[in-house]
Each structure stands twice: as C-alpha cells, then as structure tokens.
Amino acid sequence: MVQQIEDHLPPFRIRPRFLVETHESMDAISEKINADLSIKNSECKGKIAHGYGTIEIPVKDQHYWSPQLTLTIEETENGSSIRGLYAPRPAVWTMFVFFYAVLGFALLIITIIGFSNLSLKLSGSILWLVPILSVIITSLYLVSFFGQKLAHDQMVTLHNFIEKSIGITIDSKH
C-alpha cells in the first residue's frame, strides 16, 4: 500500500521556510520531536538539542538532491517559536554557490577585458564568451531547479513529519 503524502508546500521555492508560534515550552517541543525521531523505523532522522537541530531523510533513502530541515526553537513570552528552513545539504548548497561565484567572476572579468579592448580599438572577440557563460549559468540554474523538483517529495515528508511531531499545521508561505 502506497502512503499518500499531504502536500501543501509551495512548489519550487528556493529554501522555503516557516515560522510558527506555540504555547508549549522549548523543552517540550524538543522532547516531542526527539521522541518521534528515535522511533526505530521513523521516516526521518536527526536530533534537536538546545533549541537547534537538523532533520533529514534516512541515509538509505537519500539521493544527491535530498533536502534537510533545520529547526530553531526559541522561548517567547507566550511559549515558543519554531523556525524551519528547508535546504539542500551543505555540500550541495556550497557547490552551487561556488559554481555561480566562479562563473559570475569569469563573466565579469571577460566583460571588462572585452570592452577594454574595444575601447582601445583592439579585438573584442573575447566577448563571444559572454553568451556562452550566460548559457552555462542558465543551465546551472535549470539543473538546480530540476534537483529541487526531485527533492520535493522528500521535503513534503520532512514537513509532514514535523507537523505530526509537534501537532501543529504549519503554514509554509513565509
């Protein structure tokens, strides 16, 4: 029997996040989440300690694009606030930031050199690399978009797990 996933997350947002207020204490929320995480066949793995934690898909179900949910729980006057951030694992995020930075820097340098050459009445043929780099940057964006699409079901699993653990429906439009 296939488990039906309730999906009320916004599709294709970069690093979606949520903020929810509750009347329970930070320790009570942490205990609830850790109790559900410690179940032997839990659909998610992780740990919450001192108001901070990360929840992931079990290693056997992970793929390159698998997301993780980072939680921050803070005491407030009326109870606690829970902040969640869905994001790729740090290695994936760092790789994409690195590629964007290198390609952006190369695009900047090539543009400067090309227009400097043109202003000096020299050949600006290096500027032919600008559309090529632009296509590569666009391709990188499309790859990340495709990866986010592949990770969406697991992100929904993380979202449903945290809602079930804390017993609150979370509006993830933040």
Instruction: Name the burial class of residue 74, with classes exposed (0-12), middle (13-18) and buried (19+) by CB atoms within 10 angstroms of its CB.
Output: exposed
Sign of CA dihedral 49, 16, 93, 37: positive
Average pLDDT over residues 123-132: 96
H or E element that contains 157: helix 129-166
CATH architecture entry for 12-169: 2-Layer Sandwich (3.30)
Residue 169's pLDDT is what? Answer: 80
Alpha carbons 96 and 162: distance in angstroms, whole number:
27
- With a cut of 80, say whether residue 174 has pLDDT above it: no
Q: Is the pLDDT of residue 133 over 70?
A: yes
**pTM higher than 0.85, yes or no?**
no
Report domain extents, the chain: 12-169
Cα–Cα dist 36/29, whole Å: 11
Q: How confident is the prediction for the chain on average, in pLDDT?
A: 88
- Stretch 136-154: mean pLDDT: 91
pLDDT tens across 3-54, in order? 444 555 555 566 788 899 999 999 999 999 999 999 988 899 999 999 999 9
